[in-house]
């Protein structure tokens, strides 16, 4: 009997298994263990969380393989890692390391201002950020098996993630309202592959799992994103930049499952200590915005 | 017949859709009160550490154990199979411990080693069943009460014990409903 690996079913399928879960940014094996114990469904292995990448400035690149391997050894849940937009060699390296998912991420400094990675060439699945439906469908067209909102990473401010999720969902509803002969024009307007536009118009949802990311800092933020249609949540700086990471991590995990139950949300939100400080986006210079990276 | 699908984390939507296609009334289960109104339970794929933690923290684990001991049919796939096992090799994560099986998590390796392969499952007839194995566990050993229904490359992938069924693969990610129908046959009599 033949065995098939790296298929679309397997790439998309792993993302299906992550649904209803929280993926947490970690920088050390100790943090990874805290995240796993708190109920994270996966971790993102990084050298620095986005808030520190922002503070450090300079060029942000793929993490040192040593850091990633130590985190992979520390936990049994899936481990993701980030590559720069368009940097397919960083992606080849992560695939060789055996990471479970690659995030082609605007949080790192882009390596290519025009082209994203041809993700069909890889056996390892990819997740990519998107601000709107066209961007999401372009990434899926290139082979992304999972999508997340870009939000504005490292700010602890949910406003951009909300904007991006509402935009994607609103554009899906718009496609559903169109007549079949109008879909080609819609595809042109969105800059998205026609076949995927047709698929979304019929199904009423993205062809792959769609998580919220970029600015989640509290259980209420996570639950808000679930209400707006997220399949799950990434939390970057929000956990390990807060005063009590263990409890906040547990609370956000519970909030994603029980997002529709304000009693549970009230209970888990009690006494979590200080959330990460956060940034008002109006104080960011345009060049400090990460969400505009990629196209 | 009312089938509950444990909906705390993982691929519960796919099981709900598969069971609806089988003609069942299906309900999401997140709280212990919701367990009381269902006749059977499906535990989906997802992360077993996440699901295991949430069902202990929110009091579902005890109720599931109690109901299953009194004959409620339970079907676990992948993480669900891990949670049904009496023993998870090399791990102290919480489990329901309902089936007399020993399970090794991530037995085939990481995501790049995930695979699809046709399975021979005699109880489902002669046509092969599409096996989707994603960071899949392996059932290394079964007790006297457990019956092995399928193997792949000598490894046990499908086991029945009374009215409980554990699959290390994901029937809910395929359009083949035979395994769901097989589970539903546990409700006859």
Q: How many other CB atoms sit within 10 Å of the CB of residue B69?
A: 9
> Beta-carbon neighbour count of residue A90 at 10 Å?
21
Letter string b/e over residues A51-89, b meaning 16 or more CB atoms within 10 A of that residue's CB: bbbbeeeeebebbebebbbebbebbbbbbbbbbbbbbbe
Distance (Å) from the alpha carbon of B24 to chain A's nearest alpha carbon: 22
| List of residues 6+ apart from B22 with CB closer than 8 A | B177, B180, B181, B184
What strand order describes the sheet that includes A3-5? A3-5, B115-119, B129-133
Residue B188's pLDDT is 87
**Quick check: is B170 catalytic?**
yes
Picking from B109, B111, B118, the nearest residue to A14 by CB comes out as B111
Residue count (chain A): 295
Task: Compute the average pLDDT of residues B91-101.
Answer: 95
ipTM for the assembly = 0.96
Q: How far is B18 from chain A (nearest CA, A)?
A: 15
Q: Give the per-residue SS3 of B63-99.
A: HHHHHHHCCCCEEEECHHHHHHEEEECCCCCCCCCCE
Predicted local confidence at residue B189, as pLDDT? 66
Summarised one tens digit per residue, pLDDT across range A157-183 is 999 999 999 999 999 999 999 999 999
CA distance A269 to B169: 36
Catalytic residue of the set B78, B116, B120, B181: B78
Query: Which DSSP state fits A90?
Result: H
Any chain A CB within 8 A of the CB of B110? yes
**Number of Cα atoms under 13 Å in the Cβ half of residue A213:** 29
* Torsional sign, CA A226, A63, A207, A116: positive
Distance, in Å, from the CA atom of A249 to the CA atom of A244, rounded to the nearest integer, reads 9
Extents of the domains making up chain B: 2-188
Task: For A62-88, write each residue's pLDDT tens digit.
Answer: 999 999 999 999 999 999 999 999 999
**Closest to B85 in 3D by CA, of B161, B30, B171:** B161
Mean pLDDT over each residue of chain A, to the nearest integer: 96
Contact indicator for A94, A117 with CB cutoff of 8 Å: no
Report yes or no on whether pTM surpasses 0.90.
yes
Inspect the interface and report whether the beta carbons of A123 and B112 lie closer than 8 Å. Answer: yes
- Rounded average pLDDT over B61-81: 97
A39 interaction partners in chain B (CB closer than 8 Å): 49-50, 53-54
DSSP-H helix ranges across chain A:
8-18, 29-38, 50-56, 65-74, 88-97, 133-141, 159-176, 183-190, 194-203, 219-227, 237-240, 245-257, 262-268
B chain contacts of residue A9, beta-carbon cutoff 8 Å: 116, 132, 173
Query: Which phi and psi (to 5°) does residue B8 adopt?
Result: -85, -30
Q: Nearest residue of B to residue A101 by CA position? A: B111
A17 and B10 in contact by Cβ < 8 A? yes
Give the Cα separation of B112 and B99 in Å (integer).
29
Nearest-Cα residue of chain B relative to residue A80: B111
Checking DSSP bridges between strand B164-167 and strand B155-161, what pairing results, if any?
antiparallel
Distance CA B62, CA B83 (A): 13
- The pLDDT assigned to A5 comes to 97
Q: What is the DSSP letter of B124?
A: G
CB atoms A10 and B111 under 8 Å: yes
Domain B2-188: assigned CATH number: 3.40.50.880
CA distance A25 to chain B (A): 16
Alpha-carbon distance B111 to nearest alpha carbon in chain A (angstroms) = 5
Q: Which residues in chain B are contacts of A94 at CB distance < 8 A?
A: none
pLDDT in the model for residue A1: 54
B82/A contact by beta carbon, under 8 A = no
Residue-wise pLDDT for B23-61, tens only, equals: 999 999 999 999 999 999 999 999 999 999 999 999 999
């Amino acid at each position: 009997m033949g065995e098939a690996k790296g298929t679309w079913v397997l790439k998309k399928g792993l993302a299906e298994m992550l649904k209803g879960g929280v993926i947490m940014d970690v920088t050390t094996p100790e943090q990874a263990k805290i995240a796993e114990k708190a109920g994270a469904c996966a971790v993102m292995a990084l050298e620095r969380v986005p808030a520190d990448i922002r503070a450090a400035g300079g060029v942000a690149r793929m993490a040192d393989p040593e850091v990633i391997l130590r985190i992979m050894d520390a936990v049994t849940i899936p481990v993701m890692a980030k590559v720069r937009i368009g940097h397919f060699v960083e992606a080849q390296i992560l695939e060789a390391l055996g990471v479970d998912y690659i995030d082609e991420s605007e949080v790192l400094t882009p390596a290519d201002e025009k082209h994203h990675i041809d993700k069909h060439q890889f056996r390892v699945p990819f997740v990519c950020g998107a601000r709107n439906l066209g961007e999401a469908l372009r990434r899926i067209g290139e082979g992304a098996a999972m999508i997340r909102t870009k939000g504005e990473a490292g700010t602890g401010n949910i406003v951009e993630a909300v904007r991006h999720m509402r935009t994607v969902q609103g554009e899906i509803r718009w496609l559903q309202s169109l007549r079949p002969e109008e879909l080609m024009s819609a595809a042109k307007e969105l800059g998205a592959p026609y076949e995927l536009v047709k698929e979304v118009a019929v199904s009423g949802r993205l062809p792959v799992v769609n998580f919220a990311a970029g600015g989640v800092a509290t259980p209420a933020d996570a639950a808000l994103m679930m209400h707006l249609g997220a399949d799950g949540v990434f939390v970057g700086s929000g956990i390990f930049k807060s005063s009590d990471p263990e409890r906040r991590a547990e609370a956000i995990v519970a909030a994603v499952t029980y997002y529709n139950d304000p009693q549970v949300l009230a209970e888990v939100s009690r006494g979590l200590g200080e959330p990460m400080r956060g940034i008002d986006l109006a104080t960011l210079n345009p060049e400090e915005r990460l969400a505009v990276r990629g196209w | 017949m009312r089938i509950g699908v444990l909906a705390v984390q993982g691929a519960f939507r796919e099981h709900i859709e598969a069971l609806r296609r089988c003609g069942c009334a299906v309900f999401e289960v997140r709280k212990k009160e919701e367990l009381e109104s269902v006749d059977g339970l499906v535990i989906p794929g997802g992360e077993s550490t996440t699901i295991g933690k949430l069902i202990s923290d929110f009091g579902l684990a005890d109720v599931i154990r109690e109901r299953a001991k009194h004959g409620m049919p339970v079907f676990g796939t992948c993480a669900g199979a891990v949670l049904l096992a009496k023993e998870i090799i090399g791990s102290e994560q919480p489990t329901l411990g309902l089936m007399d099986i020993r399970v090794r998590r991530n037995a085939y390796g990481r995501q790049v080693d995930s695979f699809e392969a046709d399975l021979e499952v005699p109880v489902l007839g002669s046509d092969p069943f599409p096996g989707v194995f994603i960071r899949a566990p392996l059932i290394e050993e079964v007790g006297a009460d457990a019956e092995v229904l399928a193997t792949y490359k000598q490894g046990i992938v499908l086991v029945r014990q009374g009215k409980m069924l554990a699959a290390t693969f994901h029937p809910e990610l395929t359009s083949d409903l035979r395994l769901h129908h097989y589970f539903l046959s546990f409700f006859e009599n």
